[in-house]
Amino acid sequence: MVANRLYPFEPPWFSRLRWAVCAQEILEEADKKVTTQYFGVPQCLKYKAIHVADIRIQQQADGRPYLLARGDKELLVLPGHVIPELNGLKPDILLSRKSHAFALLGKLTGMQVVEKTGYHVRMLLSRISPALPDLFPLMNARISTSMELHFPSGSSGDEWTLMKPLPATVRCFSEGIALVLFGAAMVEKNPRLVHLTNELTTSIFEVAFIMRCVPSVIQQAVVWLLPSKWRMERSWRELGTFVVPEVIRQKELLASDNHNHDKSSPTSPDLITWMVKDGRTELERDPNVLTTLCGSVAAGSTYSIANFVCRALSDLTAHPDVLAAIRTELAARHVAIKGQWDLAALSGLDCLESAMKETARLAPGTIIVYSRVAEQDFFLDHGRIEVRKGQFVTVSGPARATDEAIFEDAKTYKGLRFCAEEKIEGHRAKPFRSVDSDILTWGAGRWACPGRMVADMAAKVLLIQLIDGYDFRFVGGKPIKPGSVHEFLFFHPDNQMLVRRRKDAVGIKL
């Protein structure tokens, strides 16, 4: 039983193309909780499933696994209820690095090294997340300044301005991400780093999305026909001209400090500085490896955060009652803290947190989550599910997030559902930055998104100021639907919205 395959010996390229343009429909069909369900061709291709009468699901999708033909690899889609079991497996049994590198075509995009090390993941969790109180004022200042440059200025109540929210938001977050990666001193000395991380990220995704449609046997040759491949290679080389000398400088400085028995912590809480200081192997302190790891963090964060913020703004624009509740909450907090916003003030905003969760639930960054590669054979669900060595496993995000057994009226946006009186305690115990096995915004287990604390802080810095300071309206009154390519959902860069300064803004400045 294989979803997205019409007959046993269908060429994988057809599965690739269907998945590229109709992944949501394919997964939805596979996940339908009915007694008997056919795996047919998605309706968006306007074909008829003729030869698939013998391919059926005999149980509910959340109750049994099934195979999904993605074209590049067959995935074993596991039911969401086995996630706690998966979380208990050690890295020598189940590993995420290979899956992530494979999905973004590490050999073609220059990120193959992430298969060998999760050093950047450890640093984000153990060094960067605890340093957020120190990073907050620096990141806040850079993001806020960029927001003033890229969102409409002028007096309150001016005419509506037509703009593209995603490019503006990406520019704001690029400032924050560059700060986390390279530190304030390096970014101020080399402002080109901000634009470079953005350009590199764009090229990486262009290459990966296009080449995922190309048969594997010809990818290595065809990729060089893409202008984005050449731009990406130039960006990698240019990034190295900044990072490699800095790593060498810091290694020499560290050697001098060790000679003088100086064991103090780095003064700059950025990723490069901590990776150089904590590196114990040649791989972990190799300048070229650290360049790649910094680029991979930028690729995995910039657009994902920006997409989420734009989707949240779109949802709030479509639901003015939720927007009004959040604005009331922000105004009350602003008064309570006397306008002195710090990292602690971003916590406990129940309405905002609820709306963020709801956007993440219904419009996630990817529709398949918890992607891993089995390093050994093992069994799940009391021996009922066998996973074999080398198998790629994943979980359907929508199947879990729209499960009526978990969420009432699950497919309907209810921005304040999580902060309802009967749910408020659980909501506060699991803020947006927390790993939640029902929503799966950040994945789950030991390899859940390591940058979620940074992402949560950066998203709130921008959302709070945009919600307070601006009004948003859809062009022609038509809500914006998320775009999709392969398993990724996104707010299209060309989407436009009408924006203007608010007349009754509180004037929140973080």
Q: What is the pLDDT of residue 508?
A: 85
Reported as a pLDDT band with limits 50, 70 and 90, residue 80 is confident
345's tokens: 């003030």
In terms of Cβ atoms closer than 10 Å to its own Cβ (0-12, 13-18, 19+), residue 151 is buried
Q: Is 378 left (phi over 0), alpha (psi -120 to 50) or beta?
A: beta
Distances (CA, A) of 213 to 2, 84, 264, 265, 366: 19, 33, 50, 47, 17
- pLDDT tens-digit series, residues 49-74: 333 333 333 334 456 789 999 999 99
For residue 41, pLDDT beyond 50 = no
Q: Is 403 left (phi over 0), alpha (psi -120 to 50) or beta?
A: beta
Contact 488, 366 (CB under 8 A): yes
Reported as a pLDDT band with limits 50, 70 and 90, residue 46 is very low
Contact 390, 374 (CB under 8 A): yes
What is the C-alpha R_g of the chain? 23
Q: How far apart are CA 73 and CA 70, in angstroms?
A: 6
Residue range 40-46: average pLDDT?
A: 46
Mean pLDDT computed over every residue of the chain: 88
The greatest distance separating any two alpha carbons of the chain, rounded to the nearest whole angstrom, comes to: 76
Q: How far apart are CA 274 and CA 283, in angstroms?
A: 15
Q: How far apart are CA 413 and CA 355, in angstroms?
A: 9
The amino acid at 195: H
Domain ranges across the chain: 72-501
118's tokens: 């999760």
Q: Is 390 left (phi over 0), alpha (psi -120 to 50) or beta?
A: left
Higher pLDDT, 392 or 46: 392
Residue ranges with strand state E in 306-449:
368-374, 378-380, 385-387, 392-396
Question: Is 449 one of the annotated binding-site residues?
Answer: yes
Residues for the chain: how many in total?
510
- pLDDT tens-digit series, residues 242-275: 999 999 999 998 888 765 545 555 567 899 999 9
Q: What is the pLDDT of residue 510?
A: 79
Q: How many CA atoms within 13 Å lie on the side-chain side of 106? A: 18
The amino acid at 248: I
* Stretch (H or E) spanning 134: helix 132-150
Of 401, 484, 362, residue with least CA distance to 83: 401
- Give the contacts of 244 (CB within 8 A, at least 6 positions apart): 287, 288, 291
Q: Is the dihedral of CA 13, 18, 23, 29 positive or negative?
A: negative
Residue range 80-99: average pLDDT?
A: 89
Distances (CA, A) of 387 to 68, 166, 383, 396, 440: 14, 40, 10, 17, 22
Q: How far apart are CA 203 and CA 110, in angstroms?
A: 11
CATH of domain 72-501: 1.10.630.10
**Percent of the chain scoring above 70 in pLDDT:** 91
Of 354, 357, 360, residue with least CA distance to 326: 354
Of 90, 65, 62, residue with least CA distance to 75: 65
Calculated CA dihedral for residues 68, 74, 79, 80, nearest 10 degrees: -110
- pLDDT tens-digit series, residues 127-169: 999 999 999 999 999 999 999 999 988 666 678 999 999 999 9
The amino acid at 448: A
* Stretch (H or E) spanning 30: helix 12-31
Q: What is the pLDDT of residue 262?
A: 56
Contact 347, 443 (CB under 8 A): no
Residue burial 102-119, b: 16+ Cβ < 10 Å; e: rest: bbbbbebbbbebbbebbb
For residue 348, pLDDT beyond 80 = yes
For residue 180, pLDDT beyond 70 = yes
- Which residues on neighbouring strands pair with residue 373, listed in sequence order? 95, 392
Residue range 314-326: average pLDDT?
A: 97
Q: What is the pLDDT of residue 195?
A: 94
